[in-house]
Structures are given as C-alpha cells and as structure tokens.
Chains A and B, each alone.
Chain A
Amino acid sequence: MSLVEVIGLHHRYGPRPILQDINLSIDRGEVFALIGPTGAGKTTLLRIMDLLEVPSAGEIYFDGKYVPRSGRQRFAIRRRMSFIHQKPHVFNLSVCDNVACGLRWRREKKNKVVGKVGRILEMVGLKGYENRNARTLSGGEAQRVALARSLVLEPDLLLLDEPTANLDPVSAEKIEQLISQVARQGNTTMIMATHDMAQGQLLADRIGVLLEGGLVQTGNATDIFRSPRNREVARLVGIENIIEGVIAANTEGIATVEVGNDSDRIGIQAVSDYPAGKEVYACIRPEDITLALSSTQSSARNSFQARITQVATLGALSRIEIDCGFRLVALVTRMSAEDLDLQVGGEVHAAFKATGVHVMEKGS
C-alpha cells in the first residue's frame, strides 16, 4: 500500500522548468533513493513532497488522502513528515532544545518530551551533549542532531537531501548506519536524494534516477546498475565504457555487436535480444573487465589483446585505460596492477563475459 503518491507533477521557477511529469509511488516502510547529478531537481522534488513548496501542476496523495495546496489539512499532513537537509541547520539553542523543538510545537507533555529526547539522543550517540549549544558541534554531530530532531517526531515519512554530502567519511558512515537502523525498524518510509551511487545501493530498496527534471528510470539497485535505460543513466551509475556499435548477428540471445571504425570492425559478444542491424551502445562496467598477461586464463567470451594507454591510481584501485581497437577502461585492485606490472605502453589481455555487457538501443 503506497504512503505517498505523486501524479503528473510539474514544477517551474519562472519560465525555467525544474521538474517534468513526475509520477512516483512510494510504499509504506520503503526506502527510496533518488539519484541524479547536481541540478537535476532532486532537492525541489523533496521540498515539494515535504509540502514546503507547492508544485506548478500535479497532485500529491499522502496515506490515500489528497493533499490540498494550502490550509489546515496540508499543515496536519506536513506534521507527519520530516526533512533532513544537506546542511544540518541546527538552531542556536542547546542540543536538547534543538531535538525537543518539534515535540514542543506539537504541544507534547513536558515529561514525555524529556523521555523521548533522552532516548533519541542515546540512539544517535549524543548522550551527554544535552546542554551543549548545537552550534558548537562538528558537522557530523550537528547532522546527528538534525537526524534526532526529525526522528524524535516518529514521522511516517522522512525525506533526506544528501544527508552525508558535507561530511567526512567516518561521520558519513555513522549517519548511514543510523539511517539503515531506522529503515530496519520499518515504521518510517524514507526518500533520500543522493549523488552517491554506493549509498543508494547500500540503503535503498528501490532507486529512481532523476535527470534534468525527469524521472528516467526506477527499479531496484540491480536493475539500475546492470541495465541502465539510456546513456546518461549509464554514465551516472559509473559505467565508463559506453561503446557505439551495430548488432551484426544474434543467435539465441547472444548478439555480436560490431564496434570500432569502418576499416577495423571488432565483434563484442553480449547477451541481448536486439536483432541484427540495430544501432546500439554496449555498456561494460570497468570493474567487470579482467586483465591478464595471457589469454589462456580466462573463460570469458570476449577476450582482446590490448595496449595500455593510461594508468592512474584511485585509492585501493587502479584505473587502466587500454586500446584494443576500441577504448576500454578497466578497474583492478592496485595490488594486481602491481603484480601484473601494468605500465603505459605495455601489452595486456582484457576479458569480459557476455553477461557483463549491457546492450541498449541508441537514441533511447
């Protein structure tokens, strides 16, 4: 049963369209991640769903009831949700008063407020901070205050706008742990905007991709990460290899995609139902490509001799750019890059499975 439903939502600031024809239904207890690049309209969509902003067109239903564009009923529904901003925006009050704000505004009894605030501060690990001014806290602590301030209200719907974007990795992990703890309890439906794909994958039951104001694709993490609908989504979810080609043949679901320039056509084997002659993109995740010094080690259908054109180290991983008639980027651990002695100009064998290639129609 859906808790929030958005139908035909459009929004514009002046003449500039921000959101276009958004249709979305979020189930009770679900954790939904909204991913998209900066400026895609994630924040605006969250603000509209938090009833902070009235959309230019479209309807919102909350718990089966139509949400009016103004008035007491809208206010009553807003009190069943809460919003976590990217920046914590703590009030210039003590931690305790910050967390108690929402309860006091709802005229909760004093002793109840004290109990609830105490429990929630313990949960977010800020016990003992009650009387500190919230402005003197670090970014991570302030974000935990913001989280506590919302969670103490036991909202039906929690909206999170890039809750970890401004935090160091350790603080971000704490916030993520809290979010997943709340998610496991199952009473709170969450919609979370993020540009961190891993975070979306980690925390969300379902993911929606927002690009230039349109909801391009929704599905579970595997759908989005393995079968992105178009080139932009593929780029967004970290598929670096998007190779233009034409289906040359298709036998029982195994297609041969011809790539490369006219003089030097190369066939890539891929699992696909597209018929011969179709213009397509072949998408290969860089971590799905294995590099080896000789071809015998691999059982993958695609195996190419390649020359290394670039090597870059990214933390524990090495990003290897190779030329095997077409350009490919592979990610291997730094250890194996050292073991294989991968150097610019060196020869290497690149292999990937036919199931590791996602084929999508060109122009989609």
Chain B
Amino acid sequence: MTEIWDGLTRAIELLVSLDPEVMQIAGRSLRISGTSCLLASLFCLPLGSLIHFHQFRGKRVLINIVQTLFSVPTVVVGLFVFVLFSRAGPLGVFGMFLTPAAMVIAQMILITPLLLGLTISALSGVSREMMDTATSLGASGFQTAWLVLREARYAVLAAVIMGFGRAISEVGCAMMVGGNIRGFTRVVTTAIALETSKGELELALALGMILLLLALIINIALNRLQQR
C-alpha cells in the first residue's frame, strides 16, 4: 500500500516539476494522435458526406459494417499495419516500420470507421427540410452539402474529438508498429505498459494521470459542444 502511495506522490512531483521525459512522451502522444486524427478527418468528413448525400444500393449495409468496425480491436489493426509495413511486407521498402509515421497510419485506420460513422449520423441530424430550404434558396448540390456540414458542425467536431480520444488512448497499434523506442516512438500508453511491467510505478502513474487529464479535457470540450 505504501508503495502505491509513494508512487502516487512521486508521480505528482514528476507532473508538477514538468519532468522532461514525461513531457516529451506526452508531447509525442499528442503529436502522433493529433496528426492521425487530423489526416483521418480530412478524408472521413468528405467521404462521410458523400455516403450521406447519395442513395446507392447497399448503403444500409455499408453503414452497418462501418458501425461494426467502431470496435475493431487495436491489435488487429496493429497486425494489419505490421504485415503491410514490416521489412518483408509489401510496403516494407518505405522503411516506415517502427516509426511515428507507421503509428499515424495505424491510428488513422483505427479511427476511420468511428469518424465515418459519426460524421454520417451527425449529418443525418440535419433535417430534410433544411436541405430543401437550401435547395430552394438556389444552392447547388455541393453548396447544400457544405451548408449541412456547417449546420452539423458541433456534432461533426464531437466525432473528431471522439476519434482523437480513441487514437491517443490505444496501446495495441502503437506497441506493434511503433515498437516503444525510447525518445522516438514511445508514447504515453506504451510507456505506461513498459514501466508497469518493470515495476516502476511512479512514471506509469504520472503518465496515466496525464492520460486521464486529457480524457477529462476532451469530455469537458464534448459536453460544452453538445450543449450548443
């Protein structure tokens, strides 16, 4: 019990003193997950709109599949990217295995279904009448789509934040395709896993608190958005 208590006080010290190692790891986590979230949003929002605004055969099925993939296990995505980017894999020539780039790609794949699905449901929240109003005011198809995206902006932003939350808190992909290399691909979650197994609870606890703090900030942001 004293061990945990000591660990906790030491962890708070690390946080308050802005320990360089802790800050570096946290910064890397933010950078990698932020990049993957941004890049995924760049194609998920237009693609989600495309799916929402077009009627085609199998649309319902596609949305069901996308929703099922919300809960795809991180290790499965990690394995997939591993197979693609490992030295012997089809994309091994790019030498991206065990780099932050590979982690970004893995996290993008991980959160794409979530972003797509939530974008589609955010857009569905904008009524048919709203779209008709835009059309009757002379908006082209593209202009209507842009307006609807803007109408749903808070819900869409909530989707992006959810995606970021999933990316930064996952450990499977980061471990398998990043390799937890100190000073290079070590992020908060992989560091916690390693330090815990080494028995060095204080660093693990400090990083864990950072992650919780991030989750809290994200939640507050989400709540405020949903109240708009």
Contact = CB atoms under 8 A, between A and B. Distances in A.
Given A92-B151, A93-B150, A105 B133 contact: no
Given A75-B140, A105-B140, A91 B135 contact: no
A82 B137 contact: yes
B65 to A, nearest CB: 29
Contact of A153 (B127, B138, B143, B147): B138
A146 B137 CA distance: 10
Contact of A106 (B133, B135, B138, B153): B138
A359 to B, nearest CB: 43
A45 to B, nearest CB: 14
Interface in A78-118: 78-79, 81-83, 85, 87, 89, 91-93, 101-102, 105-106
Chain A interface size, as a band, is: 20 to 34
A106 B135 CA distance: 12
Contact of B134 (A92, A101, A106): A101
Contacts of B153: 92
A50 interface: yes
B138 A89 contact: no
Nearest to B146: A105
A150 interface: yes
A178 B119 CA distance: 40
A277 to B, nearest CB: 53
A152 to B, nearest CB: 10
Interface string A34-53: 00000000000001001010
Interface string A146-172: 100110010000000000000000000
Contact of A89 (B133, B143, B150): B133
Interface residues of B, number: 17
Contact of B138 (A78, A87, A146): A78
B139 A105 contact: yes
A161 B143 CA distance: 24
B133 to A, nearest CB: 5
Given A52-B132, A87-B129, A150 B150 contact: no
Interface string B133-167: 11111111001000100110100000000000000
A85 B135 CA distance: 12
B130 interface: yes
Contacts of A87: 129
Nearest to A47: B132
Contacts of B150: 91-93
A52 B138 contact: no
Given A91-B151, A92-B151, A93-B150, A101 B132 contact: no
A75 B136 CA distance: 10
A122 B139 CA distance: 25
Contacts of B127: 89
Contacts of B143: 105
A78 B140 CA distance: 10
A52 B127 CA distance: 15
B130 A153 contact: no
Nearest to A97: B150
A105 B130 CA distance: 16
A105 B151 contact: no
A354 to B, nearest CB: 49
A83 B134 CA distance: 10
A89 B135 contact: no
A149 B147 CA distance: 15
Contacts of B134: 91, 101
A313 B139 CA distance: 50
Contact of B130 (A79, A81, A89, A102): A89
Nearest to B147: A91
Contacts of A153: 137-138
A271 to B, nearest CB: 46
A78 B147 contact: no
Interface of A: 47, 50, 52, 75, 78-79, 81-83, 85, 87, 89, 91-93, 101-102, 105-106, 146, 149-150, 153
Rank and list the top 4 A-B pairs by shortest CB-CB distance, nearest first.
A83-B136, A102-B137, A79-B138, A89-B133
